[in-house]
Amino acid sequence: MAIERLPGLVDAHVHLREPGYEHKEDFYTGTAAALAGGVTTVLDMPNTNPPTSTPERLAEKARLAQAKAVCDVGLFVGATRTEGDAYLPAAHRACGLKIYVNDTFGSLRIDTLDLLHRLFRTWAERAAQIGYRSPENPHGLGPVAVHAEELMVPACLALSQLYDVPLHVVHVSRRSEIETIRRAKERGVQVTCEATPHHLFLSMEDLPRLGSLGDMRPRLATPDDVAALWEHLAAIDIFATDHAPHTLAEKGLQGQPVESPPPGVPGVETMLPLLLTAVHAGRLTLEDVVQRCVTAPRRIYGLPEQPDTVVEVDVDAHYTLENQAMHTRVGWTPFAGMPVYGRVQRVILRGRTVYEEGRVLAEPGSGRVLFQPT
Ligand code: DOR
Ligand code: ZN
Ligand code: ZN
């Protein structure tokens, strides 16, 4: 048994569903699942109901998170067609701005160039007013994170350059996208990106087996797209899960059949074993993992360090991922049945044991909500 001691991981892309969809997940179940995966900081997306699109809603979401979270939580604000950039007065209390440029779960898609211009421009103006976030992040605000697929990738790259805003492209899944981003980086453009475990370890060839449990946005891609992500690993700044739980009933797998199940799959508690399995196979180094799950997300989002925080992993433990072992409220994983190496044994957050051998020990509310007034 070989024990590795890792820093607490950051999952820079999760949907904890509160408020509005607590039957899928809430701040307790979602952060408990995070601890089980060795993740001690999560960044939560704004496509809740109501969406996190105004200062009041951000403050309300921070209250909800503070009451229940067992790990640290940063909150994104989101742009909407109807409210535009109403979040701006509270932008410094968010980890970043999320813009949906393509269709997905929720109603946050921005579909006019006119509004996109405004959103990039006002984020840049607000960042200049604030001027400073942290020693690691000299920008006054977090980046603009975009759900942008295919042609929307160069469109967002152009806008971010026009307004001099740091751009982060979430869940890159296609060869064309990662090659565009790599080339932009070579030209000195201020862009970062992330890839999810499902786009690295699954492809559309898994769809017949997975059915609606393999449906998410971006969709599972071709084996060549998957190969491109691995080929261009150097251009992938962050591994993040896009943890997006929906119930088995909503996926049409319990009770009545469902005509169009919502896209999205949980992932926050399976990322580390999947990555450690790639380390075991020699496809990644442990350094690659720590770089992309700790160092880079902290730098890109200006996240505070967590002192006395350690994740103890038995890197030789060999077992099969199972639905029953999951802490997420929805109780399933698209990786069920997959043999993996690496089991989280213990998580210590700020000196306290918060997770041990499958059990969450932290009290609800013991996590911190980042960037809030004290
Ligand atoms: O598959 C997805 N599900 N992609 C997204 O971008 C949103 C997410 C969700 O919130 O369910
Ligand atoms: Zn997305
Ligand atoms: Zn997402």
pLDDT, tens digit, 9 for 90 and up, residues 174-230: 999 999 999 999 999 999 999 999 999 999 999 999 999 999 999 999 999 999 999
Q: Give the per-residue pLDDT at 49.
A: 98
Residue 367 lies in a domain: no
On whether the CB atoms of residues 169 and 193 are closer than 8 A, the answer is: yes
> How far apart (Å, rounded) are the C-alpha atoms in residues 54 and 77?
8
Take atom 4 of ligand 1 and give the residue whose Cα is closest: 217
Instruction: Decide: 251 in ligand 1 pocket, CB within 6 A.
Output: no
Please state whether the predicted TM-score (pTM) of the whole model is above 0.80.
yes
Instruction: Decide: 42 in ligand 1 pocket, CB within 6 A.
Output: no
Say how many Å lie between the CA of residue 353 and the centre of ligand 2: 33
> How far apart (Å, rounded) are the C-alpha atoms in residues 373 and 331?
35
Residue 255 DSSP label = S
Domain that holds residue 59: 3-360
Return the sign of the alpha-carbon dihedral for residues 198, 200, 110, 372.
positive
What own/partner pairs with CB < 8 Å and gap ≥ 24 does 126-134 have? 126/88, 126/91, 126/92, 127/91, 127/165, 130/91, 130/92, 133/92, 133/302, 134/302, 134/303, 134/304
Pairing of strands 339-349, 310-320: antiparallel
Give the residue-averaged pLDDT of 355-365. Answer: 97
> How far apart (Å, rounded) are the C-alpha atoms in residues 50 and 21?
10
Residue 65 lies in a domain: yes
Residue 138 has pLDDT above 90, yes or no: no
> How far apart (Å, rounded) are the C-alpha atoms in residues 263 and 250?
10
Nearest atom, ligand 1, residue 170 CA:
6
Q: Give the per-residue pLDDT at 136.
A: 46
Residue 307 lies in a domain: yes
Residue 374 lies in a domain: no
Nearest atom, ligand 1, residue 245 CA:
11
Q: What angle do CA 367, 105, 122 make, to 5 degrees?
A: 75
Ligand 2 is an ion; its neighbours by CB within 5 Å are: 147
Residue 366 lies in a domain: no
Say how many Å lie between the CA of residue 149 and the centre of ligand 1: 13
Q: Give the per-residue pLDDT at 137.
A: 53
Total number of domains constituting the chain:
1
**What is the tens place of the pLDDT at every residue in 54-112?**
999 999 999 999 999 999 999 999 999 999 999 999 999 999 999 999 988 888 999 99
On whether the CB atoms of residues 322 and 298 are closer than 8 A, the answer is: no
We report the CATH number of the domain holding residue 15 as 3.20.20.140
Nearest atom, ligand 1, residue 45 CA:
10
> How far apart (Å, rounded) are the C-alpha atoms in residues 353 and 346?
7
On whether the CB atoms of residues 27 and 332 are closer than 8 A, the answer is: no
Residue with tokens 């269709």: 103
Instruction: Collapse the DSSP code of 297 into the 3-class scheme (helix H, G, I; strand E, B; otherwise coil) and give the result.
Output: helix
Residue 365 lies in a domain: no
Residue with tokens 């007034």: 373
> How far apart (Å, rounded) are the C-alpha atoms in residues 225 and 176?
8
Residue 45 lies in a domain: yes
Ligand 3 is an ion; its neighbours by CB within 5 Å are: 242
ipTM over 0.95: yes
The count of residues in the chain is 374
Say how many Å lie between the CA of residue 316 and the centre of ligand 3: 31
Residue 373 lies in a domain: no
Cα-Cα-Cα-Cα torsion 79, 194, 22, 18, nearest 10 degrees, comes to -40
Nearest atom, ligand 1, residue 216 CA:
1
